[in-house]
Amino acid sequence: MADRILITGGAGFVGLHLARRLLRDGAEVTLLDDLSRGRLDRDVDEILSQARMVRHDLTRPVPADLLAGDFDEVYHLAAVVGVQQNNENPARALNVNLRAVLNVLDWCRRRPPGRVYLSSTSEVADGATRLGLTPFPVGEDVPFALPDPTMPRASYGLSKIVAETLLRQSADLFLVRIGRYHNIYGPRMGHDHVIPHFVARALARQDPFPIYGATQSRAFCHVDDAVDATICLTRLPGRDPIVANIGNDTEEIVIRDLAERITQLAGYTPSFEVFDPPSGSPDRRLPDLGRLRRMTGYTPRVELAAGLRQTFDWYARDRATVVAAAPGDRA
């Protein structure tokens, strides 16, 4: 009998790629989404020929009759994500993300699934790196710190560490797995992050080409690798909760070099106009993947060059949806 799987935020970026992979593996998949971030497009239409879509706003309790039957796995991905959204309305980020996880957990307590996966974030460790409390690469056991709680983007990391804590406290009811995503990228990732910002500028052949935080560095992880790691982590045996970083630690890149690679894909060589990074943006982000490797054997497969080419080509084909990026690259 096929596994029954629920993905909240299933019409979003990681959610749709995860659904596609699980359907390919033979699972019975239900997507739950209010479409406030995800969108109905040809990719969703393709998925919905095989999966079920349920429209619901998770800031409200899940009605008892909304989701029939028992589920083997729940992947809770629904959240307000992206630095721009959190900066513009931090109160909404806290409200939506905390209400969503509370309502999902209330539903799971009524109908306990076999396993619950929470998508968390590298931002729960960014405060510790800013304060010099941990070396690079950054592991999972660093202290959570908010160097400046008044900064709007602090709302996102705060909402995720609270969600992690709530989920851990439910580990007596179902298996708990938490993945901290580090700079996931790929086709259909939206327009609120540095790679689609650069792609939009390159497609428009902007010259000069603006870069915010040119000397900062990131280790980007292709969404296909993130999906592989997510499934492997979720299906690990054992009753104890597991928290693991998910990313790609093999190809750290400076943001200016990233801009050069993407403009090369567009076939031109602009001059670069360098600006200060967005407020609160970490100078470096590099995960320690030792725990994930030891427990799952995970190895990233998609090299950055190939992943950037695929992502650039997707946005070029989907150019009608590419919008001009707002000032300040988010990574």
Q: Which residues of the chain form beta strands (DSSP E)? A: 4-8, 28-33, 52-55, 73-76, 115-121, 175-181, 184-185, 209-212, 217-219, 221-222, 242-246, 252-254, 272-275, 284-285
**Which residues contact residue 78 at a Cβ distance below 8 angstroms, ignoring those fewer than 6 apart?**
8, 9, 12, 15, 32, 33, 34, 58, 100, 104
pTM, entire model: 0.95
Can you tell me the mean pLDDT for 73-94? 87
Whole-angstrom Cα distance, residue 245 to residue 230? 10
**What is the structure's pLDDT at 73?**
98
Residue 55: strand, helix, or coil: strand
Q: Please, which residues bridge with residue 265 across strands?
A: none
- Strands 115-121 vs 221-222: parallel, antiparallel or unpaired: unpaired
What Cα–Cα distance (Å) separates residue 106 from each residue in 61, 99, 173? Answer: 8, 10, 11
The amino acid occupying position 38 is G
**What is the structure's pLDDT at 145?**
96
Can you tell me the mean pLDDT for 225-244? 98
Percent of the chain with pLDDT over 90: 85
Other CB atoms within 10 Å distance of the CB of residue 317: 9
Can you tell me the mean pLDDT for 282-296? 98
**What is the structure's pLDDT at 324?**
43
Closest CA to 147 of 122, 126, 164: 126
Closest CA to 213 of 277, 163, 170: 277
Can you tell me the mean pLDDT for 28-45? 86
Q: How confident is the model at residue 328 (pLDDT cuts 50, 70, 90)?
A: low
| Burial class for 83, CB neighbours closer than 10 Å (0-12, 13-18, 19+) | buried
**What is the structure's pLDDT at 325?**
45
**What is the structure's pLDDT at 83?**
72
**What is the structure's pLDDT at 139?**
98
Whole-angstrom Cα distance, residue 257 to residue 178? 31
Domains of the chain, start order = 4-321 (3.40.50.720)
Lowest mean pLDDT among 89-93, 217-221, 274-278: 89-93
**What is the structure's pLDDT at 15?**
97
pLDDT over 80 at 38, yes or no:
no
Closest CA to 185 of 306, 323, 11: 306
Q: Please, which residues bridge with residue 221 across strands?
A: 184
- Average model confidence (pLDDT) across the chain: 94
**What is the structure's pLDDT at 1?**
74
Rg over alpha carbons for the chain, rounded to the nearest Å, is: 19
pLDDT over 60 at 228, yes or no:
yes
Residue 203: strand, helix, or coil: helix
* pLDDT per residue as tens digits for the range 166-213: 999 999 999 999 999 999 999 999 988 999 999 999 999 999 999 999
**What is the structure's pLDDT at 323?**
45
